[in-house]
Each structure stands twice: as structure tokens, then as C-alpha cells.
Chains A and B, each alone.
Chain A
Amino acid sequence: MKRPSFLFKIDQTPFSFTWGDGIVLVGLAGVIWYGTRLAFHAPATIQGPQISLSPSALPWYAGYSVARMTAAYFLSIIFTIVYGYSMVRNRYARRVLLPLLDILQSIPILSFLPMVVLSLSSILPGKIAAELASIILIFTSQAWNLTFAWYQALITIPNELGEASSIYNFNGWLRFKLLHLPFAAIGLLWNSIMSWAGGWFFLMAAEIFTVGSRDFRLPGLGAYLHEAASEGDIRAIVWGIAVLVLVITALDQLVWRPLLAWSERFKLEMVESEAPRTSWFYDAWLNSRLISWLDDHAFNPLSQKLDAFFLRYFPPKHQGEQEKEGRPWLMFTILALAAPPLAYGVYQAVMMLVGVSAAHWWQIAMGIGATFLRVAFALIIALAWTLPLGVAIGTNPRLATLLQPVVQIAASIPATALFPVILLFMLDMPGGLSLIAVFLMLLGTQWYLLFNIIAGASAIPQDLKFTATLLRLGTWNRWRILILPALFPYIVTGAIAAGGGAWNASIVAEYVDFAGKTVYTTGIGSTIARATASGDYPLLLASTLVMVVTVVLINRLIWRRLYRVAQERFRME
């Protein structure tokens, strides 16, 4: 099985709601209210810089975007490590932090936007505020799955490796460097790749945004594509997409593939893998004299110095490996200190929600219904075409070598970048944006399904396939008895990721600026986007909360149950 099974571990939170969920949801409403309070102090009008549509600007823009993504990524990594350790170290904290993470990952990126941007621009000069806000927004599309992967790794480290670390006196640093980080490496790496894909997807939303009469824009690829789309400049759109694909491919070849090849050593299995991942760049790196000189004269001595430093100033504590209970008082003190202002914020948020008119609530309800139908529709279409193709690729090695690269390149293009092209051709078709939105959701999320189905199909044991042939099962029976049950866990895993992505994509799919005009359709995403653009905070708060609750409910009530069934009944072991 090639699929890294730790990609989407979602089984760590309970089915039902706990008091932790309650605290988190209520607290969130309070925090959002504070954000909007701050936002009122932001300058009334902000004029962004001009975005040039000349192709010669593209290298610079690409550089800016990559730099922003990198900054956001490192922010995500730091957040991940700190947050994960706090969850593992303190079980009192975990009861709040785990549901918080689960809910944070279902908040659409645009809902973070006004709060982040405006509160930053009320304390910082406009340009820095916009830059920081953009990085934080990209961060919100990168961080959560990394944190889950890290937490998952920390709680599944084999007991005896932990005990060996204790017996041999590892201090915190050595534990981190030699035990936790290597054990989590492969999971973190796969999730980093996903995070970057997520970052590219929302790049346009994160580089150019209007809040009321405040217009923020930052030089970058996302802004370029956005500008090209709203000008309706086909040539610029094509240039933009080409550069984007180039950047993504280069990152894949020069960063992710080498890292994947390198990470082979972190596999826990004690058998050598038959077809280890390879990378030409990694091989070149290994054979480079310069690199090996640097290794001997810079990296290794530095690493030794670092170890020595930490051993000297942070000696091991001679503690056993038992789970540290954590200090309840620390957590309760923080809660107690945060409670009064938070309670005030919650009170104000509730007042804000009370002020939302019945018409707006009706709009939210209709929106949720419409978006739900769109998500479901997108999933069904995705399943309808990925299932036959995925099975074909997964069971036919010749087809796999032929199609796999094509599929991978297609999957790496962020759907949002293609959106303008699609709009151009489809906006006048019957159904209009409402159907195009489904199409965009599909574009963004079908890959999760396809890759999972390919992995599942290639994991069907050969002897079962032989048996099916020997029993002369017809096509229908073959699918019903062998293929579908074998694929079920993979389909569920893929659908969970795809569904989550589709909800998030609704915001960029249901409301667009194109060729000088704004087009939108009924949906929760468009409600959120319009509330953001017009600075209608009560509506934004209400629609965000409704969407979060809906997504979390769907996850807990449907997906996790299916996931459990998949784990218990349809596992191939």
C-alpha cells in the first residue's frame, strides 16, 4: 500500500459534542466580536497598489507569493509543534485544544479575513498590516492538518521507543530531534504538501481583498490572476496560470520529491520497501562534493554544537515515561483570566446575533441548503468519474505509468486559478454561476477521491482478484463483492477530505469578480463573501457560525460513523 495512511486521521475526537466543544464555540463567537470591534478603528478607506498585468512583472510576483507562502508555512510549523506538545503534555488543555482545532479547520478562510485585516490595520501601517494579514490568512489554510498529523504522531509513538529514550536519558531536545520529529516526519511531509496545495488554492483570496470601502492588494501571483480575471484579460490569465504551474512543478521537483525520497529512512516498518521513492535532485544533492563538504564542515559540527548546548543547559529530568498529568491550575488560571473579557465578548456577540434580521437568517438558511446540495452534487459527480478511472489506474500498471504523471500535474493546478477561464466559457450557459460553483468545487476536490481510489484499487490483494476470476464473477458481481467493499475505506477517507474542501471552496466559488462585474448566487459561501465585502459584521458572524456548526455536525454525524464502519468492517487485514 503506497498511500500514507496517516494523511487524514480523523478519529481522535468524539462523535458527540463535549463541553470542550461548547466552550470553544461560545469562546469563538466572543473572539470574533472583539475582532470586529477592533476593525471599527481601521482607516476608513485604503487604496491598494496598482497590480501590473505585464508578463515581465510575473517573476517578481511569483517570488513574493512564494515568500509569503514560505513565511506562512514556517508559522504553521511553529504553531503545530507548540500546539501539539501542549495537547500531549496537559490533558486538561487537550480537552479544549482538540475540539478547538477541529472547529478551526472548518472555519472558511474568508471569515478570518475582515477580523485579521482590519484589526491589524488599526495598529499597523497599511502596507505591513496587509502583508501580515495575507500571511496569517495563508497560515489558516495550511496549519490545521499539519497540527493533526503532528498530534497523531505524538500519541502513536511506540511505547518501547519512548521507554528506550527514558532509559538512555534523552533530554527534551534529543527526544524532539531523535524520536518525535523523525517519527512524525513522513506524516508531516505529506501534510505539508497538502498544506501548500491548500495555500495555492486560496492565494487569490489571500492577496487581494476588499472590506467595505477598504481595498487591500499585495503584489503577487494571486493578485495578478485576480486582476487579470476582473479585467477579462485572457492573455494575462494564461501567462499567470503558466507561471503558477511552473512554480508548483519546480517546487515539486526541487523540494517535495527530494524530501519524500529522503524521508524513506523514517519509515517505521522494519522491512525494506520494494520500490523506494526516488528523486533526481536528491541523488544529485547526495553526490555533490560541495554538499558533502558542507555536511562535514558546517552541518554536522553545528548539529553537534546544538546537541551539546541543549544537553548542557537542559539536562534530562530522569523522569519515567508515564503520561504527565499536566497542571490543571495552569489551564484553569488561563481560563479564569480569559473568562470575564471573553464573557463580555460573548455577550456582545449574542447581542449582535440578536440584531440579525429575520430576512438575513432566512438567507443563511437558504444558503446552507443550497451549498449543501452543491457539495453533495460535486461529490457525486466526482465519485462517478473517479471510481472507474481510479480502479482502472490502480489495477493496471501499464495504464498507471501512462496516466499517473498527467493526473499529478492536473491535480497540482489550483482550481481557483482556472476559475476565470471556466467563467469565460460557462457564465452564459443555463444555470450560470450556480452550476459553475459546483464545477469549481469539483475541480478543487476530486483529486482527493481519485488518489485514494487509486491507492485502494492497487491494494486489493492479487489472490482475491484471482478468486473473483475463478468464480467467474460477472462485472456487476465483481464490483459488488470485491471492488466496492475493498475500496470503501478509501472512498470514505477521500470523501471526507473532498467534502471539507468543497465547503471551504464555496466561498470563492459562489461569489466572483469577473470582467468588471460582481456575480454571485445563493449559498452560504456567497453570503459570507458578500457580508465580508460590504462589512456587514453581524451577518458575517451569523453565517460563519452556522456554517461551522453545519460542517462539524456533518463530520461528526456522518463521516466519522462511516469512517468507523470502514475501519472495522472493510479493512483488508
Chain B
Amino acid sequence: MADVSLLKLKNVSQVYGTGQKQFTAVQNINITIEEGEFIVLLGPSGCGKSTLLRVITGLQKATEGRVLYRGVPLQGINPNAAIVFQTFALFPWLTVQENVEVALKARGVPPRVSVARALDLLDRVGLDGFETAYPRELSGGMRQKVGFARAMAIDPELLCLDEPFSALDVLSADALRGELLELWLGGRIPTRAILMVTHNIEEAIFMADRIIVMEKDPGRVVADLRVPLPQPRMRKDPKFLEVVDRVYALLAGQTQPEYLELGTAPGEPGRTRALPYINLNDLAGLLEYLDKMPNDRMDIYRLAEELKVNSDHLLRLIDAAELLGFATIAQGDITLRPLGETFAEASIQARKEIFATRIRRLPIFKWLTAMLKATDNHQLKWDVVQTALELEFPPEEAERQLDSAVTWGRYAEILSYEDNTQLIYLELPPHVPPSTPEDRSETPEGARS
């Protein structure tokens, strides 16, 4: 074949677990990366983008499918790739210089050469003078610069970035993004292509030539779009915002008919809808905010800007609002439903009642309450329920789902949980007032923090 792309994924799937408890992390992924491209894998947490990065670099072998690097199937670690890690992954016991040198040493580069090269790279990323410092003496941004210098030390053709800016504060992240783009666009590094994983929509559009949008359950590619904007890009540019809006629309999706939106109960055929992992106070805050908007409607991307929450967090809140029937999503806009409006304006106790009626409709709650009612004293051990959920979700996710369900159920006063005994039980019927004044004193706070 004459066409030799830098990297090709062909029908890649990754499945974890065996037997009845099998979970697909990513399914049937086809991606091609050409030389000269800056590609971003964008998606919510849990969509398998990090798994994909590990498959591409050879850290992990895909269960199915093939990875071709320059037309040749990848065997083991890809020697032409480097990773910059979200948590930096620097060796705390080595100095800045040693951290960079070690990548060269492992490849058998003699010390004379590696010292000079490490110093040159540190100079280029602006860490001149910090060679003998230990990573713990540096700020987050500077640590990540060491991460970049180390990655570039081995002259990778494919530079992989695993959420490299998400552990940094806003200002350092901004600065570092700019510096990376400068190095890359100025052709000052021999890298042929950059592949970045992120869940930050703006960051993706700010940097990428091409964005591959992924969705979860199972992890899959839902869109592959070019960013038709010249560099450098301005975040306030209407054209920039237009792309942001489009990507939000893709990720937030459309509100589906109810039976699709709700999914099926655990253990039944069909997919169980996972509860989004959110803070209920934030949800109340979001609904209150929308309630104050004209027509109770807003562009999702503008919401992200004004509430100053990251896109992943916001999308989970929107997901929850949609699932509970408080809002509808269409074409990147969110609109409050009358029920959502009522909730936003209701008193604390009335909110709990509305919330209770809403979550009673969710198959996972129907299933859970049915199970609890089937027992003698309306109670079950946490572990028993979690094991049952593990037929539908991977163990960690099952625990998280149960955690969410219990928190929601406690808020709605339909479930109780006692940590000492690890028992989940049905709350007393509402005519026996179970709650004490302390329970009610919590005021849902806004998401505007």
C-alpha cells in the first residue's frame, strides 16, 4: 500500500473481565493519524480515551483489532512514541536534569551526549537554572515542563499527551498551552504528530487540527471533525464559539424519548442507564440559574463560561437534569421544563418530594426498592446490592452507581443507609415524619463556585 499513515487503528476494541462480568471499554475504534496533525481525543470521563492512548503507545494490548504504525503492526511498546502524563509521572528522587537524562540513558545514549541534550531541552522549555532542583521544589506548571522536556528528549515522532493540563491551575495551564503550540507550530521540535486526550472542550478547540469526539457506554467515536480556524485562535472569536457550541451539542446529545432515556433495570436485557456522578446541590444551582434566564433556555457553551465550571462537570449535571426530566436538550441548548421550574422555585421540603417522585421512575430505583421490599425487614447489605449491580457495571463503576443511588435516595428520603452496619434500607413511609430539623437545614447551594 502506498498510503502509509503515521498511525492506524483498525477495529480496535478493549474488553475487561471475563465470563458474565465483561465490560467493553472501547468498541470498534477506527482512527487514522497523519503526519503533521494535532489530534485531540475528546470525551467524558469513562469513555475510554485514556485506554486508547495506552493501546496506541503499546502500554496495553487491545483485545481485538490492529494497531499499525507506519503500516507495520505494533509489537509491545512503541519506541517512536512518548507520553506526557496528567500527573507528570516524574521520579521524585531524581533531579530535574536526571529526570530528563534517564529517558536517554535507558536508550543507551552515553552520558556526555545525554547531559548536553538534557540541558538544551531544559533551556528550550524555560527551565534554565532549575537543573539541580527536585520536582517537589517546582510548581505544577514547571513540573509539567519537565514532563515535556523528558518526552521530547527521545525525539518521538508521535507525542501523546494524557490530559497534560488538567492538574494545573488555570494560569499555568494557559501559559503552557501557548508554549507547546509555539514549539509545535514553529517546527522547533521533530515531532510528527501530537495526540492529546482531554475532556476540556475549549482546550481541544484551542489547540487541535482535528477533534475526535468520543462517547461512553461503551467507549466509541461519535464524530471526527476538523477545526477550520487558523492559529493563533482567539477564545472570544465568534467562529471559535461556533465550534464550541457545535461540540457541546454533539456531547450533550438530544433528549430522547423517555423509554430510551431511562434505559432498563439492572439484570434485564438492554442497557441500564448509569446515574451521572454529580453533587445534588450543584444540580439545584444549575436549575435555579436557568430559571432566571429568559425563556428558561440557554446555550450550553455559554453556561460553561458563565458558571465557570469545567465542561465535563457541566455535561454530567445536564445529563442528570435531562434524566430526571427537569430539562430538555436540543442542538446545544438546554431548556428548563415546567417541572424543573417548579423545582427551582420550591422550598427545601417540596424539592425533596419532587425529587422523590422523579427518581421513583428510574429503573435502577424501581429495581432497588423492589429488592428491598422483597426482604423481611426491608434492608440489604451494601455488598449484596453492589454484587448484583456488578452484572451490569464494572466493579468500580458499580460501587459508584450504588453510591450515587444511595445519595439520591437519602436526599429524596426514600432510602437510608447506615455506615456502621453497611445496611441499606427503605425509609419509613412519609406520613411518619422521619426527618429532624437538622436534616432540613442544608440549603442547596449554587454551582457558581
User: Which residues of chain A have a CB within 8 Å of any CB of chain B?
Assistant: 158, 160-161, 163-164, 166-171, 174, 178-179, 182, 185, 265-272, 304, 307-308, 311-312, 316-322, 569
Tell me, rounded to whole Å, the shortest Cβ–Cβ distance linking A383 to chain B: 24
Assess the B60–A320 pair: CB atoms within 8 A: yes
Chain B contacts for A304, CB-based, 8 A: 111
Assess the B106–A169 pair: CB atoms within 8 A: yes
Tell me, rounded to whole Å, the shortest Cβ–Cβ distance linking A456 to chain B: 22
Chain A contacts for B103, CB-based, 8 A: 168-169
Q: Give the secondary structure class of B's interface.
A: loop
Assess the B91–A318 pair: CB atoms within 8 A: no
Query: Which chain B residue lies CB-closest to A268?
Result: B92
Q: What string of 1s and 0s marks CB contacts (under 8 Å) between B107-119 and chain A?
A: 1100100000000
Tell me, rounded to whole Å, the shortest Cβ–Cβ distance linking B114 to chain A: 11
Assess the A174–B106 pair: CB atoms within 8 A: yes
Tell me, rounded to whole Å, the shortest Cβ–Cβ distance linking A292 to chain B: 15
Complex: A234 Cα to B150 Cα, angstroms: 65
Assess the B79–A318 pair: CB atoms within 8 A: yes
Q: What string of 1s and 0s marks CB contacts (under 8 Å) between B131-157 and chain A?
A: 000111100000100000010001000
Partner of A168, one of B92, B106, B135: B106
Chain A contacts for B106, CB-based, 8 A: 168-171, 174, 311, 316
Tell me, rounded to whole Å, the shortest Cβ–Cβ distance linking B113 to chain A: 13
Chain B contacts for A158, CB-based, 8 A: 87, 89
Assess the A269–B136 pair: CB atoms within 8 A: yes
User: Is B102 at the interface (CB under 8 A from chain A)?
Assistant: yes
Chain B contacts for A319, CB-based, 8 A: 76-77
Tell me, rounded to whole Å, the shortest Cβ–Cβ distance linking B225 to chain A: 29
Query: Which chain A residue lies CB-closest to B58?
Result: A320
User: Is B82 at the interface (CB under 8 A from chain A)?
Assistant: yes
Tell me, rounded to whole Å, the shortest Cβ–Cβ distance linking B138 to chain A: 9
Chain A contacts for B89, CB-based, 8 A: 158, 160-161, 163-164
Assess the A265–B93 pair: CB atoms within 8 A: yes
Tell me, rounded to whole Å, the shortest Cβ–Cβ distance linking B15 to chain A: 14
Chain A contacts for B92, CB-based, 8 A: 265-270
Assess the B77–A161 pair: CB atoms within 8 A: no
Partner of A320, one of B61, B87, B93, B419: B61
User: Is B373 at the interface (CB under 8 A from chain A)?
Assistant: no
Assess the A270–B111 pair: CB atoms within 8 A: no
User: Is B94 at the interface (CB under 8 A from chain A)?
Assistant: yes
A-B contacts at CB below 8 angstroms, number: 94
Query: Which chain B residue lies CB-closest to A316?
Result: B106
Assess the A168–B154 pair: CB atoms within 8 A: yes
Assess the A307–B105 pair: CB atoms within 8 A: yes
Complex: A170 Cα to B82 Cα, angstroms: 13
16 of the cross-chain contacts (CB-CB < 8 Å) are A158-B87, A158-B89, A160-B86, A160-B87, A164-B85, A164-B91, A167-B57, A169-B103, A185-B93, A265-B134, A269-B92, A272-B137, A308-B108, A311-B106, A312-B108, A320-B54
User: Is B309 at the interface (CB under 8 A from chain A)?
Assistant: no
Query: Which chain B residue lies CB-closest to A317?
Result: B76
Chain A contacts for B419, CB-based, 8 A: 569
Chain B contacts for A318, CB-based, 8 A: 58, 75-77, 79
Chain B contacts for A271, CB-based, 8 A: 136
Query: Which chain A residue lies CB-closest to B57?
Result: A167
Tell me, rounded to whole Å, the shortest Cβ–Cβ distance linking B161 to chain A: 13
Q: Which 10 A-B pairs have the closest CB atoms?
A: A318-B76, A160-B89, A164-B89, A168-B103, A182-B93, A169-B106, A318-B77, A270-B136, A160-B85, A320-B59
Additional A-B contact list (6), CB under 8 Å, known A160-B85, A163-B54, A312-B108: A170-B106, A178-B102, A185-B93, A270-B92, A270-B136, A308-B108
Complex: A435 Cα to B58 Cα, angstroms: 65
Complex: A311 Cα to B332 Cα, angstroms: 55
Tell me, rounded to whole Å, the shortest Cβ–Cβ distance linking A8 to chain B: 24
Complex: A169 Cα to B204 Cα, angstroms: 29
Tell me, rounded to whole Å, the shortest Cβ–Cβ distance linking A316 to chain B: 7
Q: What string of 1s and 0s marks CB contacts (under 8 Å) between B175-187 and chain A?
A: 0000000000000
Chain B contacts for A308, CB-based, 8 A: 108
Complex: A321 Cα to B58 Cα, angstroms: 9
User: Is B83 at the interface (CB under 8 A from chain A)?
Assistant: yes
Tell me, rounded to whole Å, the shortest Cβ–Cβ distance linking A490 to chain B: 21
User: Is B42 at the interface (CB under 8 A from chain A)?
Assistant: no
Which B22-43 residues sit within 8 Å CB-CB of chain A?
none
Given A316-B106, A317-B76: A168 in contact with B150 (beta carbons within 8 A)? yes
Chain B contacts for A322, CB-based, 8 A: 60-61
Complex: A178 Cα to B91 Cα, angstroms: 8
Complex: A272 Cα to B139 Cα, angstroms: 11
Chain A contacts for B75, CB-based, 8 A: 318
Tell me, rounded to whole Å, the shortest Cβ–Cβ distance linking B391 to chain A: 24
Chain A contacts for B93, CB-based, 8 A: 182, 185, 265-266
Query: Which chain A residue lies CB-closest to B106?
Result: A169
Complex: A236 Cα to B378 Cα, angstroms: 73
Which B163-216 residues sit within 8 Å CB-CB of chain A?
none
User: Is B364 at the interface (CB under 8 A from chain A)?
Assistant: no
Chain B contacts for A174, CB-based, 8 A: 102, 105-106
Assess the A169–B91 pair: CB atoms within 8 A: no
Q: Which of B81, B103, B143 has the most CB of A within 10 A?
A: B103
Given A164-B85, A168-B154, A178-B94: A272 in contact with B102 (beta carbons within 8 A)? no
Assess the A179–B107 pair: CB atoms within 8 A: no
Assess the A167–B77 pair: CB atoms within 8 A: yes
Chain A contacts for B82, CB-based, 8 A: 167-168
Complex: A237 Cα to B59 Cα, angstroms: 62
Tell me, rounded to whole Å, the shortest Cβ–Cβ distance linking A29 to chain B: 36
Tell me, rounded to whole Å, the shortest Cβ–Cβ distance linking A239 to chain B: 43
Chain A contacts for B86, CB-based, 8 A: 160
Chain A contacts for B108, CB-based, 8 A: 308, 311-312
Complex: A308 Cα to B93 Cα, angstroms: 21
Complex: A267 Cα to B134 Cα, angstroms: 11
Chain B contacts for A160, CB-based, 8 A: 85-87, 89
Chain A contacts for B105, CB-based, 8 A: 174, 307, 311
Assess the B107–A169 pair: CB atoms within 8 A: yes
Assess the A163–B83 pair: CB atoms within 8 A: yes
Given A178-B91, A178-B94, A182-B93: A168 in contact with B59 (beta carbons within 8 A)? no
Complex: A268 Cα to B92 Cα, angstroms: 6
Assess the B61–A168 pair: CB atoms within 8 A: no
Complex: A293 Cα to B160 Cα, angstroms: 42
Q: Which of B82, B83, B420 has the most CB of A within 10 A?
A: B83
Tell me, rounded to whole Å, the shortest Cβ–Cβ distance linking B72 to chain A: 14
Chain A contacts for B58, CB-based, 8 A: 318, 320
Chain A contacts for B150, CB-based, 8 A: 168
Assess the A167–B87 pair: CB atoms within 8 A: no
Query: Which chain A residue lies CB-closest to B107?
Result: A169
Chain B contacts for A161, CB-based, 8 A: 89, 91
Chain B contacts for A185, CB-based, 8 A: 93
